[in-house]
Each structure stands twice: as structure tokens, then as C-alpha cells.
Amino acid sequence: MKLQFPENFYWGASTAAHQVEGNNTNSDFWLMEHLEGSTFNEKSGDAVDHYRLYRDDIALLAKLGLNAYRFSIEWARIEPEEGVFNEAAIMHYRDVLAACSEHGIMPIVTLHHFTSPQWLIRAGGWESPDTPARFARYCERVMGELGEHIPYVCTINEANISIGIAKIMKRYQSSANAQVGINTQFMAKMETYNAELTKAFGLPAQEVHSFLMARTEAGLANIFRAHVEARAAIRRVSPHTQIGITMSLYDIQAQPGGEENAANALHEEFLQFLPYFEEDDFFGLQNYTRAIYGPEGYLAPPEGAEKTQMGNEFYPEGLEAVVRYVFKATNKPIIITENGIATDNDERRKAYINRALEGVYACVTDEIPVKGYMHWSLIDNFEWQLGFSKRFGLIAVDRSTQERLPKPSAIHYGNIARTNELIV
Ligand code: BGC
């Protein structure tokens, strides 16, 4: 059966600056990766050298048949010191946008994707009440200069991610407590790391507030205020740009007796933030798997479930459920800004794409305004703490030569994009 997608559907892939560009030396993550006792498995280094090879990568994306590219602009490059804006970095992103336009690719730009300038962290990071204004000032500068070439902008990537991090840390700690050996080692490593953090940022470790960390309630509110202030600034300087935020969302399911826990999770991870999106133009939806709740709370994936390299359950059907609950709650156009799978078995990536898109198709036929699907990721990249071993890319890279090697899934997805049809 052929499933025909709407005309003008955006078929794209996503990346994030720090994960692909390389040598993001003024960012907080760069510093943290280089500390002794670092929680990062490896350093980002040259990553996949996208800061140099972006023109080739965009040409390849277009050649595959895609018509959209979601990427992020790196705050630490644009404003390496507070109030000092780097024209060369702005020119760089101007050329990234030009490359998109030359290939007929619609750019979707993210202004913050986890990394921040080191100076921001020294000034209190994401717990500081001054951060929303600082973020808005950076957004105003970038969008004032480049906004005419940016039809869609996401202010902050996965603004709610700290909630997921806190939950994962809680689960990890209770399993680590059961294994005292690991725990002692872990604690010793953390002590070294904390001392190093203090040296690096000139702050007690508990006052280092990078983005991918657990947050206080005030810190969380800061992030969403940053979105609201940035939105107002962007409206002033680039009124034609459609503005949204992106959120990390699970298909939240309940087993009998787990309904209240599931409802609480949905509220905590999503519904409580609705007022902040009221004036947005679209919603950036990111989903990878489901989360099941029972009467005692979160349940690990069912026994025997297929897992991805991330330890997530392989569950592409989750996307449809999330699109439906997001639309019901926001009534806004949706762009799927991330969805994908870490695997070395590319056949499973193809299967994941097909099953996820079948769900998207069902939503579209129900007249839910899904504008596009951005697969995570265009290219294998630096998966944060887990390094380069987790492979989400449609395109593989030989990092010794930086040669790009499209996987069969890239050809498969490109064909869907080119024909606007999914064959099931
Ligand atoms: C993030 C990406 C990350 C992906 C896969 C999302 O949470 O936005 O930066 O690589 O998930 O883990």
C-alpha cells in the first residue's frame, strides 16, 4: 500500500552544533570533556568536522532527496565573551543558510542545543535569573542579522530535559546503591570531577549549572522564561520567522493501576509548560520511545523487548501517540524536530523510520497539522557523555578521513522524501 503525504511536507534530518561541528572550544561542554574524572566517555574533538564540511553535508542531504535541514547555531561561537559578538561566526552561519538556499533546502534553526558559552556558566548558568535576558540578547543579535533567511526557529532544544535527567539519575542511583563496589568507585570519580569543575569554572561544583543537569524549580522556570523573552526579541527583529520550542516527550502509557502515575508524568514533563507556548507559532516535537507506568511508578521495558544502543525500547509507534497528545493540548502546527534510533543494524533503522512514519501518516489523515519530519540524525555524531559509539546517523563517517558514507537507510528515507510516498 502507498501512503501519500501532503504536498509541501518537510522531509529533513537534524544535527546539533556541538555534536557535529568540532572544536567548540568556548563552550561549557568542551571544558567539561577535558576535565580529569570527566563523565564523558571521550572528547568531541573535531567531531565530524561539520564546521568545515557543512557545504558538502548539505549538498549530500539534498542529493539524498531531503528538502529540510535542522541544525543549531552555537551561542559559544557567536558570543565567546559576554557582550562580544563574533562577526566571523555570524558569517559562517550566514553561509550555512546560503548553502541551504542554493540546494532548495528549508532551514530550521535551533538557537540553543544543550551547549552554552563558558562565561554564562561562570555567571550562574541556567540557575541565574539573568540568563533569560542574556539568552534573549544573543537571539536578538543572531536573528537581527540572519533572520531574513530563517523561516523556522526553535529557541531552546528540549527545554524540559532536566526532568528526564533527574528521573534517570534517581533510577541509576537506586541501582548503584545496590552495588556498593561500583558506587564507591563512582563516588571517588565524582569527587575528582567536582574538584576539577570548581577549578575550571571558578565556582563550587554544586553551583555549576550547565544545561544538561538536574534543575531546581526556579532554574526550570528560567529556561522557559528564556524562551518567552527570546520569542519577544525575535518577533521584534524578524517578524516573519515562525517561532517554537522543542520538547523531549515519551509516549506515556499506563498499565492497570498506573493511570495516576502516567497522568502525573504527563503533567510534569509536558502539560505544566503549556502557558509558555501559548504565543508560539509551532511546536517542535522530539520522541524516541515510550515510558510505561504501573501502580509503583515507572516500569523498565518489558522483558525481551528489543533495545537500541541507548538502552531504549525500540518503539517507533510512540511517535503517533505523542503527536496526538501534543496536538490535543496545544492545537498548534507540529514539526517533528527529532525522532530516530541508535543502532549498527541499519535494517532496524529502516524499519523504525517506516513504522514511525506510518504513525505520522495516520495523524496527517486525521488533519493534525504535522508540517514535517526531521530524522535524528543526518550523520553519526558525538552523543554527549556517550561519545561517538552511539550511531544515530543516516550517514556514517570514517572519522580518520572524515569521509561520508550514506547508509542504505539514507537512500531509503531519501526515496520516501523524493516521492512523498511511504510504501507499507
Ligand atoms: C537530543 C540530541 C541527542 C538525541 C539522542 C535528544 O535528546 O536533542 O542532542 O543526540 O536526543 O540521544
| Bridging pattern class, strands 283-286 and 334-338 | parallel
pLDDT of residue 224: 98
Q: If you search the block for the grid coordinates 558514507, which residue do you land on?
A: 405
176: confidence class by pLDDT, cuts 50, 70, 90: low
Please report the pLDDT score of residue 179 as a whole number: 59
Q: Distance (Å, rounded) from C-alpha 178 to C-alpha 143?
A: 50
Domain residue spans of the chain: 2-423
Q: What is the pLDDT of residue 75?
A: 99
Pocket test residue of 18, 71, 384 for ligand 1, highest count of atoms within 8 A of CB? 384
Ligand 1 within 6 A of CB of 16? yes
Backbone angles phi, psi at 251, to 5 degrees: -75, 105
DSSP track, 58-69: HHHHHHHT--EE
Return the best residue to mutate from 40, 112, 338 for the ligand 1 pocket (most ligand atoms within 8 A of CB): 338
- DSSP secondary structure letter of residue 21: S
- How does residue 178 score in pLDDT terms, banded at 50, 70 and 90? low
What spacing in Å lies between the alpha carbon of 248 and ligand 1's midpoint? 9
The pLDDT score that the predictor gives to residue 29 is 98
pLDDT at position 205 over 60: yes
Q: Is the CB of 320 under 6 A from ligand 1?
A: no
Q: What is the DSSP string of 274-321?
A: HHHHTT-S-EEEE---EEEEETTEEEPPPTT--B-TTS-B--TTHHHH
DSSP per residue, 94-116: HHHHHHHHHTTPEEEEEEESS--
The pLDDT-based confidence of 190 (bands split at 50, 70, 90) is confident
The finding on whether 376 has its CB within 6 A of some atom of ligand 1 is yes
DSSP symbol at 344: S
Residue 168: predicted pLDDT: 87
pLDDT of 85 reads 98
Distance 249 CA to ligand 1 centre (A): 12
Q: Sign of dihedral through CA atoms 351, 352, 355, 357?
A: negative
Report yes or no: 320 and 368 within 8 Å, Cβ to Cβ.
no
Q: Is the CB of 248 under 6 A from ligand 1?
A: yes
* Concatenated DSSP letters of 133-167: HHHHHHHHHHHHHHGGG-SEEEEETTTTHHHHHHH
Predicted confidence (pLDDT) at residue 181 exceeds the cutoff of 90: no
For position 177, what pLDDT does the model report? 62
User: Taking 90 as the threshold, does the pLDDT of residue 347 lie above it?
Assistant: yes
* CA-based nearest residue to 67, from 11, 14, 13: 11
CA 182 to mean position of chain CA atoms: 30
Cβ-based neighbours of 222, under 8 Å, separated by 6 or more: 126, 127, 128, 129, 131, 132
Percent of the chain with pLDDT over 70: 98
Question: Closest ligand 1 atom, CA of 381?
Answer: 10
Rounded to an integer, the average pLDDT of 8-33 is: 98
C-alpha cell at 224: 522557559
- Which residue's entry shows cell 531546581? 216
Split at pLDDT 50, 70, 90, the class of 189 is: confident
| Ligand 1 neighbour 346 (Cβ under 6 A) | no
Q: Which residue bears the cell 527529532?
A: 338
CATH top class, domain 2-423 = alpha beta
Residue type present at position 68: A
229 Cα to the center of ligand 1, angstroms: 24
Mean pLDDT of 66-80: 99
Cell of 117: 558559552
Let me know: does 281 contact 243? Beta carbons within 8 Å.
Answer: yes
Reported as a pLDDT band with limits 50, 70 and 90, residue 187 is confident
- Strands 403-406 and 395-398 turn out to be antiparallel
pLDDT level of residue 180 (50, 70, 90 thresholds): low
Q: What is the pLDDT of residues 110-127, one digit of tens each?
A: 999 999 999 999 999 999
CA distance 76 to 17: 10
Rounded to the nearest 10 degrees, how much is the dihedral formed by the CA atoms of 29, 33, 38, 40? 90
Residue 30 cell numbers, joined = 568542551
Predicted TM-score (pTM) of the model is 0.97
The pLDDT value recorded for residue 362 is 98
Residue 157 CB less than 6 A away from ligand 1: yes
- β-pairing, 251-254 vs 242-244, is unpaired
Mean pLDDT of the chain: 96
Mutate to test the pocket of ligand 1, among 210, 249, 375, 376 (most ligand atoms within 8 A of CB): 376
Catalytic residues: 158
Among left, alpha and beta (phi > 0; psi -120 to 50; other), residue 106 is beta
Distance 126 CA to ligand 1 centre (A): 19
For residue 181, the CA-to-ligand 1 centroid distance in Å is: 30
| Residue 14 alpha carbon to ligand 1 centre in Å | 10
Q: Which atom of ligand 1 is nearest to the CA of 310?
A: 12
Mean pLDDT for 167-184 is 72
Q: Which atom of ligand 1 approaches the CA of 377 most closely?
A: 10
User: DSSP 3-state assignment of 129?
Assistant: coil
Q: In what order do the strands lie in the sheet with 246-248?
A: 242-244, 152-156, 106-112, 68-72, 10-14, 370-376, 334-338, 283-286, 246-248
pLDDT surpasses 70 at 169: yes
The DSSP secondary-structure symbol of 229 reads: H
Q: What is the mean pLDDT of residues 98-104?
A: 98
* Per-residue confidence (pLDDT) for residue 199, from 0 to 100: 94
Q: CA 360 to CA 417: how far, in whole Å?
A: 14
CA 256 vs. chain centroid, Å, equals 32
Among 147-151, 194-198, 327-331, the range scoring the smallest mean pLDDT is 194-198
